[in-house]
Chains A and B, each alone.
Chain A
Amino acid sequence: MTAATDPPGQRRKGVTISRKLLPYLLSMPALLVCIGILIPFFTAVWYSLQHYRLSQPWNRGMNWGENYLNFLTDADFWNTLQISLLYAGLTVVLELILGLGIALLLQKRTRMNNLISIMLLMPLMTAPALAALMFKLMTNSNFGILNYFAQVLGFENMRWASSPDTALLTVILVDIWVYTPFIMILLLAGLRSLPTQPFEAAALDGVPRIQQFWRITLPMLMPYVLTAALFRLLDSIQQFDIIYAMTQGGPGDNLMVFQVEAYLNFFQSTNVGRSAALLIILWAITFVLSNIFIKNWLRLRERTRPEG
């Protein structure tokens, strides 16, 4: 693999040096752009160790770990952690179940199935913030169609995102609408790449299909399921667009997930220090998750490469 473009029998000497530098030269611009993006990351770490409110610039100074220590006794912080984990856990589990179910339904390569899987791309290609607005209109108390359906089903005063009882359910519904197709596409690709022999053997032995699913399909599909789950978990724990567009974290502090809370801390209460500390904690969570994810992903990548 090393220096694969080198033609054998290089003649001129100057070329060797520039060839050594070439990969660096090629990736340099991309790296510079990214380094530019790394600087704000370190600035954020710095802010998180300060007492820093935009409204009180005279009062700014280092307070080291105080922002973090304060979290221990801060009920709002625990609420944020709890609601973020709940949101991420529920969306990922529900989307996995639905996505796997749909992928199994569409497994056979018929024209109808392919058409449906193309149609399911459309929610995934809709901006999550706009999807939230669509559902906001659909749940409008005056004319929302979902409101009408709820009434028909006997839920008279369903208030969806504006009621503390149903707000979480409403944003999760939007998340499911947008992201289930993503999991479906990954698992469908996985299902269709499974070898057929084990299934033929099982069918010959008369193994019932439910058993085939639990004993053969699911274990062989597991790497794909894990990759899809971790990928979604990483995104979902950082969800901002859907929740902010739908309720801005309300009603009350019912949907104050990490990024919404940090955003409001920064722009409304102008508490830069606390906002940065919140984001660093979120980053620590995603860092652990993404390391597990990348390892898993690389293993899967190695496995799929030969057929690639």
Chain B
Amino acid sequence: MEHTSPLERILRGIALTAVVVFFMFPILWIVLMSLQTNETILRSPPSMVFEPTLSNYQAIISGQLTGNTATLEIKFMGNLLNSIILSVGSVALALLLGVPAAYAFARHKFRGSEDIAFTLLSFRFAPPLLVLLPLTIIFQQIGLADTYIGLIWVYQLICLPLILWIVRGYFEDISPDVEHAYRIAGHSWFATFRHIALPLARPGIAAAGLLAFIFAWNNFIFALVLASADKQPVTVGALAFITASGIQYGQIAAAIVLSIAPTLALALYAQRYLVEGLSLGAVKG
């Protein structure tokens, strides 16, 4: 259909190669670095030839970092566990609260529903610190300071609007006629919701849940402000890591690889859902 000259094809190829190198290289480099000892990392000029070792991962997972002078204990696995607890907990709560609300917004245009939906959406755009800084003081007064429950509640700030808006779009796309028919057949409202609406909206719920999980996992500022060391997820834990003395560079790299691997794996596994969710969340609503 289109005529492309050989020159154009070559230029296109070069441009695409540059794009792939720019976006993939940092990840590749950090993975390579995590497989090296300090000696090979510090070689100059840097070289791709080295004997890969898993000792960095071993050290991170066991929590015993043997440095030049002393053994350092590090609780990176604790950070990883915190990330899992906070992300899974937040997404579960957001689905529990968000899916019924999304259904209500999609099916019933009740008084004030648009205003409420917008208010919820606008949370997405308010500066997070505006809420977080007063919360540090309030949480201390009501005893939620440094608890998983307090953190999971605050994480709703990112998870809930996402779920509401994506899932609402899906419910709106389902024709209400099927639900009518099912109800005329004598089924209760709840049965209709469970057996008709929920299964039909499942792709949307999956996309929204996946995105919410990734955003929760990647969040940094909530836990930086509200969590102390034993509740911190990987994003905050890794920062403390990089400034600690006595840690080897390869071990830092291994910790970063372990921290980004779950979201990258999820992204690759479910990329179709993800692209759909991203463009729905941002364009379609």
Contact = CB atoms under 8 A, between A and B. Distances in A.
Interface of A: 1-9, 19, 22-24, 26-27, 29-31, 33-34, 36-37, 39-41, 43-44, 47, 101-102, 105-106, 116-131, 133-138, 140, 142-143, 145, 148, 177, 180-182, 185-186, 189-190, 203, 224, 227-228, 231, 234, 238, 240-241, 244-245, 258-259, 262-263, 266, 272, 275-276, 279-280, 282-283, 286-287, 289-290, 293-294, 297-298, 300-301, 304-305, 308
Contacts of B123: 34, 37
Contacts of A228: 282
Contact of B176 (A5, A29, A234): A5
Interface stretch (B58-66, B70-78, B253-261): B253-261
Q: Which of B128, B225, B271 has the most CB of A within 10 A?
A: B271
B46 A148 contact: yes
Contacts of B156: 33-34, 37
A130 B264 contact: no
A185 B160 contact: no
B97 A44 contact: no
B97 A30 contact: yes
Given A26-B100, A122-B24, 8 more contacts: A8-B184, A121-B268, A126-B263, A134-B27, A186-B283, A245-B239, A294-B118, A294-B122
A118 B253 contact: no
A191 to B, nearest CB: 12
29 contacts: A4-B176, A5-B176, A7-B183, A22-B104, A27-B113, A33-B153, A120-B23, A124-B267, A125-B274, A126-B27, A127-B219, A129-B235, A129-B238, A134-B256, A137-B33, A138-B29, A148-B45, A177-B23, A181-B23, A186-B282, A189-B279, A189-B283, A190-B283, A227-B282, A244-B224, A266-B133, A287-B125, A300-B283, A308-B169
Given A116-B16, A130-B238, A34 B160 contact: yes
B131 A130 contact: no
Contacts of B235: 127, 129-130, 241
Interface residues of B, number: 102
A130 B46 contact: no
B160 A30 contact: yes
Contacts of B242: 133, 136-137
Which are the 10 A-B pairs with shortest beta-carbon distances?
A: A127-B218, A4-B176, A23-B108, A26-B104, A40-B134, A129-B220, A7-B183, A43-B134, A30-B101, A27-B101
B283 A22 contact: no
Contacts of A6: 180, 183
B221 A185 contact: no
Given A7-B183, A26-B100, A137-B30, A126 B129 contact: no
Interface in B96-150: 96-98, 100-101, 103-105, 107-110, 113, 116, 118-123, 125-135, 137-138
Nearest to B43: A143
Given A37-B157, A119-B23, A279-B127, A127 B260 contact: yes
Contacts of A120: 19, 23
Interface string B68-104: 0000000000000000000000000000111011011
A32 to B, nearest CB: 9
B96 to A, nearest CB: 8
Majority secondary structure of chain B interface residues (helix, strand, loop or mixed): helix
DSSP majority for the A interface?
helix
A101 B14 CA distance: 13
B131 A44 contact: yes
A3 B283 contact: no
B108 A272 contact: no
Interface string B9-45: 0001001100110111011011001000000011111
Contact of B283 (A4, A128, A224, A245): A224
Interface of B: 2, 12, 15-16, 19-20, 22-24, 26-27, 29-30, 33, 41-46, 96-98, 100-101, 103-105, 107-110, 113, 116, 118-123, 125-135, 137-138, 153-154, 156-157, 160, 164, 169, 173, 176, 179-180, 183-184, 189, 192, 214, 217-221, 224-225, 234-236, 238-239, 242, 249, 252-253, 256, 259-260, 263-264, 266-268, 271, 274-275, 278-279, 282-285
A262 B253 CA distance: 30
Nearest to A54: B137
B175 to A, nearest CB: 9
Contact of B129 (A37, A137, A224, A259): A259
A116 B19 contact: yes
Contacts of B29: 138, 145
A119 to B, nearest CB: 6
A137 B131 contact: no
Nearest to B279: A189
Contact of B121 (A27, A272, A294): A294
Contacts of B253: 137
Contacts of A186: 278-279, 282-283
A134 B253 CA distance: 8
A182 B138 contact: no
Contacts of A101: 15
Contacts of A127: 217-220, 234-235, 259-260, 263
